[in-house]
């Protein structure tokens, strides 16, 4: 569980990592460009969106990460450089070259990310001019870097924890257009532990599967999703099993933070499914519940309409569902037994649905498959945010 890992009270970078962010004119005043830098080349791995309209940084990133080595990540907000054709890819390459020039490295050691509105050409000249001199701003507070990648996020997001002699730090952004098939909107993980690239890739994929891959704010897979990990080795080797456990815990905790900061959200929704025929079916059912607009609005309104849970389970047509073995709980309070709604005190269920964190548990009773999904409620704020996103 995420709480089993003692995260640092204040996020810090591992040895050799620093960041800087500044406003370069993409936004009126807020920070809109971030550099994350390792003082030495770092082993690296990454996973990207599976959307069929990937942004130019994704196209370039898939090429860059084949080398398995990074020195830096440069990321901008406000403009995502998606649906921008060959010019967009060229601008992403120019962005990498600009960062590489500032850092004294090569462009193939720089991962590029962009997030924001789709279908607008990147103002690359502003980025090229703005990155000049950023090395003088490099500092140890990861929250500074997190600020520069925010779009509709209500706050910057960063975590860090120790594993043996090493540190792992997570920096992420995202609050809408989130149902990843690999990772969240933008998520960067930094460590001073030593791993080779194939091992790092395997560990990253093992960590995102139960965490970021189980996150959904609104069922929409972004065109810009990126999750990258950099390991510069300055702390030396660490126990691989302990590192993986910490990596999963941190990714899971960040998943919860991202879900709670969903656009307009007022509740973190966690859905645990047990007793499925296998892990795949548990995954499908958990996602079905967390993605249901009717379940989301039930949580938002603290409305004890638990038939919506049964609906969301029952519509998983390709799963083994037996009503007579299905039970359900809301924050530990049983509301369904053997497929039937229990007679319960509505006031008690309304009260438990009013909590900031709502845990829904469903036991299917047909196998040993289990999965947990993470999401949030739907509010008027989500509609207001996205009804004017392009114009804002």
Q: Note the pLDDT tens digit of each residue in 188-244.
A: 999 999 999 999 999 999 999 999 999 988 777 888 889 999 999 999 999 999 999
Q: How far is CA 285 from CA 73, 207, 260, 279, 319, in A?
A: 36, 21, 21, 10, 8
Burial 312-341 (b: 16+ CB within 10 A, else e): bbbebeebebeeeebbbbbbebebbeebee
CA angle 4, 47, 181 (to 5 degrees): 80
* pLDDT for the residue 387: 77
* pLDDT for the residue 2: 44
DSSP state of 66: G
Strand order in the sheet with 357-363: 340-341, 333-337, 327-330, 357-363, 268-276, 369-376
Contacts of 241 (CB under 8 A, 6+ apart): none
Which of the following is catalytic: 184, 252, 274, 326?
A: 184
Q: How far is CA 138 from CA 19, 20, 34, 103, in A?
A: 5, 5, 10, 11
* pLDDT for the residue 219: 79
Half-sphere exposure of residue 19: CA atoms within 13 angstroms, side-chain side: 30
Helix (H, G, I), strand (E, B) or coil at 357: strand
* pLDDT for the residue 152: 79
DSSP state of 331: T
* pLDDT for the residue 182: 54
| Residue 166 Ramachandran class (φ > 0 left, ψ -120 to 50 alpha, else beta) | beta
Spell out the SS3 assignment of 314-378. Answer: HCCCCCCCCHHHCEEEECCEEEEECCEECCCCHHHHHHHHCCCEEEEEEECCCCCEEEEEEEECC
Pull the structure tokens for residue 380: 């008027």
* pLDDT for the residue 388: 65
169 is catalytic: no
Q: How far apart are CA 62 and CA 54, in angstroms?
A: 11
Helix (H, G, I), strand (E, B) or coil at 342: coil
- pLDDT beneath 70: ranges in the chain: 1-4, 177-179, 181-184, 388-392
* pLDDT for the residue 1: 39
Q: How far is CA 311 from CA 27, 288, 339, in A?
A: 43, 9, 11
DSSP 132-165: TTGGGG-BS-HHHHHHHT-SS-SS-EEEEEEETT
- Site of tokens 């990937």: 54
Bridge partners of residue 175, in order along the sequence = none
Pull the structure tokens for residue 176: 């809408």
Report the interhelical angle of 240-260 vs 197-208 (nearest 10°).
Answer: 40
Q: How far is CA 321 from CA 62, 124, 129, 314, 367, in A?
A: 39, 52, 58, 7, 11
* pLDDT for the residue 264: 77
């Amino acid at each position: 569980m995420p709480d089993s890992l003692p995260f640092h009270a204040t996020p810090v970078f591992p040895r050799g990592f620093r960041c800087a962010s500044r406003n370069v004119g993409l936004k009126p005043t807020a920070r809109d460009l971030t550099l994350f830098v390792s003082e030495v080349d770092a082993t690296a791995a990454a996973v990207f969106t599976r959307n069929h309209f990937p942004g130019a940084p994704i196209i370039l990133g898939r090429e860059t990460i084949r080398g398995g080595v990074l020195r830096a990540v440069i990321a901008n907000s406000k403009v995502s450089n998606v649906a921008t054709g060959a010019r967009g890819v060229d601008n992403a390459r120019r962005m990498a070259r600009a960062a590489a020039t500032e850092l004294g490295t090569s462009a193939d050691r720089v991962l590029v990310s962009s997030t924001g509105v789709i279908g607008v050409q990147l103002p690359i000249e502003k980025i090229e001019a703005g990155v000049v001199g950023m090395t003088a701003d490099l500092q140890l507070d990861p929250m500074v870097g997190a600020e520069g990648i925010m779009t509709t996020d209500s706050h910057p997001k960063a975590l860090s924890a120790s594993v043996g002699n090493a540190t792992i730090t997570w920096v992420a952004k995202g609050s809408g257009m989130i149902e990843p098939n690999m990772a969240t909107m933008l998520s960067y993980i930094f460590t001073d532990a030593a791993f080779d690239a194939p091992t790092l890739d395997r560990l990253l994929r093992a960590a995102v599967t139960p965490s970021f891959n189980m996150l959904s704010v609104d069922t929409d897979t972004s065109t810009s999703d990126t999750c990258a990990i950099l390991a510069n080795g300055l702390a030396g080797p660490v126990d691989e099993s302990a590192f993986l456990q910490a990596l999963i815990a941190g990714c899971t905790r960040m998943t919860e933070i991202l879900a709670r900061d969903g656009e307009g959200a007022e509740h973190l929704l966690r859905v645990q499914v047990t007793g499925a025929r296998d892990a795949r079916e548990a995954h499908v059912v958990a996602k079905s519940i967390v993605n249901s607009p009717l379940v989301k609005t039930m949580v938002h309104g603290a409305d004890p309409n638990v038939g919506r849970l049964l609906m969301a389970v029952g519509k998983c047509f390709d799963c083994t569902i037996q009503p007579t073995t299905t039970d359900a709980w809301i924050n530990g309070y049983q509301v369904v037994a053997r497929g039937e709604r229990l007679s319960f005190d509505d006031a008690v269920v309304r009260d438990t649905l009013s909590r900031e964190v709502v845990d829904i548990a469903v036991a299917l009773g047909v196998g040993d498959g289990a999965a947990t999904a993470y999401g949030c409620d739907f509010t008027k704020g989500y509609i207001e945010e996205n009804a004017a996103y392009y114009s804002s």
